[in-house]
Amino acid sequence: MFGNFPNFMYLFRTNGNWRYPGPVRALPGKASRQPPGPEPVSRDDAAADQRRRILEATADLVAEHGYQETTMEEIVRRAKVGYATFYKHFADREAAFLALLDAAIERTVGRVEAAYQREEGPWTDRVGAALGVLFEDVAAHPNPARAVLVEALTAGPEAAAKHEAALKRLAPLLRPGRELNPRQAELPETLEETLGGGVVWVLGQRLIGGEAGKLRGLLPETLEFVLRPYVGEDEAAREAGEVADAISA
Amino acid sequence: MPAEELGPLPAGRHGYSREQVAHHQRERLIAGLATAVAEKGYAAVTLADVTKVAQVSRRVFYANFESKEECFLAAFEVVVFHLRELVAEALEGIPDWPHRALATARAVLAFLASEPELARLCLVESRGAGPAVTVRFNAAVGEMEPLLRLGRAERDSDRPLPDSTEDSTIGSLVSLAYRKVAGGEATQLEDLLPDCAELVLLPYLGPAEAARLAREAA
């Protein structure tokens, strides 16, 4: 018992309250926690799975109650891991939340950038492809998306900085549109970040309203909003119409 | 609302009615919260901080508010109420929609620039102040929507604008202002006026006229 003392500290004191220590469950990696099937699970796989479960639980809980109201106790319970396992991966709740932001941003922004690069048509098509993937990804993973788009701004400066950095990575996809505008010298310097902010707002509002399923229908309108300052309303509406046709097809 | 300028109420007989004292205490608590939030950020503020700045007791706090969040909501409400009055004043005698939209943007930015702590409270701290505040914040910025929507009558084209145009525009404006305030430049919010003007007017008036009015607003 005393040899394990540091690991068991959490049982006695969480959130400043003394708690009755519950039964100690098997430690991670022990045979009892492995699935009984013929495939043996490696220690690395088990650790990756624990980490994934912790991030998923964090995303779900933060979407349900907000970051400030989410406790580590709830995270470990939802993720079905012990405190010791949690601490093996993350120093505290904030570290887990920041890791969740990193993972969600990397996945989504990576896919958006790839879709933009892959599309070989004109710039408006490339933006359409990129925005389409963004909407698709947000709809498929609403809670991690909500963490990045909405909750990151409520969780302290480091999380807010990650939100801003993600937004900044999208600006280079829009910037080439300036070349298409005859008045490009007059376009506001803040245009790309501002349009990005508008898109983030629209997505965030739908996620807060529990309407992730309706995002597809919103894609053409949002594309028109983003393209309009660069190519004018007619061209923006034409591109949006093509995307709307593709969705309904 | 600098609470520190308000000394404590004189003890004993002071000639104020019970209602006056209660009202005064509520105002002090709201101002106290705004000051405490400006100093430490909403998450770190305790009730003790608020009652200390406001120089009232904890009992008085609970007589007025159930929680820190409710007090924050009241502070937010005071700012929104004041902004509504300022905007109404700014719109007096302006007949045409484009200049009404500009006057609204100018009045809001000017007030927030003159009260950087309140700008921070409303635009930055409100994000971490709980779900009720988020709902209230979204409703408050949503008040811009009907005003923006009137711009649809100005359009040359018969083609209807997408329904979410105003929503996207509001999001862009909020993000523009948020970034300025979060970056510690709340006092320079008025610099955003031309960019805001262009953003707001573009869907309704087209690029040439939007740019002309944005320059005029600068």
Residue that is written with structure tokens 């200049």 in the block: B99
What is the complex's ipTM, to 2 decimals?
0.83
**Between B4 and A106, whose confidence is greater?**
A106
Question: Each residue of B29-65: pLDDT tens digit?
Answer: 999 999 999 889 898 899 999 999 999 999 999 999 9
Question: Each residue of A74-123: pLDDT tens digit?
Answer: 999 999 999 999 999 999 999 999 999 999 999 999 999 999 999 999 99
In the chain, the amino acid numbered A37 is G
pLDDT averaged over every residue in chain A: 86
Contact call for B169 and A198, based on CB within 8 A: yes
User: Which chain B residue's Cα is nearest to A238?
Assistant: B159
What is the spatial distance between Cα A153 and Cα B171, in angstroms, rounded to a whole number?
14
Q: What's the mean pLDDT in B123-136?
A: 85
Contacts of A233 in chain B (CB under 8 A): 157, 159, 203, 206
User: Which chain B residue's Cα is nearest to A240?
Assistant: B162
Q: Any CB–CB contact under 8 A between A202 and chain B?
A: yes
Structure-token pair, residue B21: 């004292």
Q: Any CB–CB contact under 8 A between B202 and chain A?
A: yes
User: Between vectors from CA B152 to CA B147 and to CA B153, what angle results, nearest 5°?
Assistant: 100
- Contact between A63 and A151 (Cβ < 8 Å): yes
- Classify residue B13 by its DSSP letter: -
What is the spatial distance between Cα A130 and Cα A188, in angstroms, rounded to a whole number?
23
Structure-token pair, residue A148: 């990045």
Mutation target to probe the B interface, by most B beta carbons within 10 A, among A168, A233, A235 is A233
In the chain, the amino acid numbered B87 is V
DSSP 3-state of A172: helix
Q: Any CB–CB contact under 8 A between B162 and chain A?
A: yes
Please count the other Cβ atoms lying within 10 Å of the Cβ belonging to residue A23.
Answer: 4
What is the spatial distance between Cα B111 and Cα B107, in angstroms, rounded to a whole number?
6
Contact call for B171 and A220, based on CB within 8 A: no
Dihedral angle sign, alpha carbons of residues B138, B141, B147, B148: negative
Q: Any CB–CB contact under 8 A between A177 and chain B?
A: no
Phi, psi of A160 (to 5 degrees): -60, -35
Contact call for B198 and A153, based on CB within 8 A: no
Contact call for A188 and B179, based on CB within 8 A: no
Instruction: Provide the shortest C-alpha distance from residue A50 to chain B (in Å).
Output: 28
DSSP 3-state of B151: helix
By Cβ distance, the residue of A153, A200, A225 closest to B127 is A153
Predicted TM-score (pTM) of this structure? 0.82
In the chain, the amino acid numbered B218 is A
Nearest by Cα to B125 from B166, B168, B52, B186: B186
- Contact between A154 and B127 (Cβ < 8 Å): yes
Range with top average pLDDT, A6-10, A182-186, B20-24? A182-186
Angstrom distances, CA of residue B60 to CA of A11, A12, A249, B207: 38, 36, 63, 55
Contacts of B182 in chain A (CB under 8 A): 160
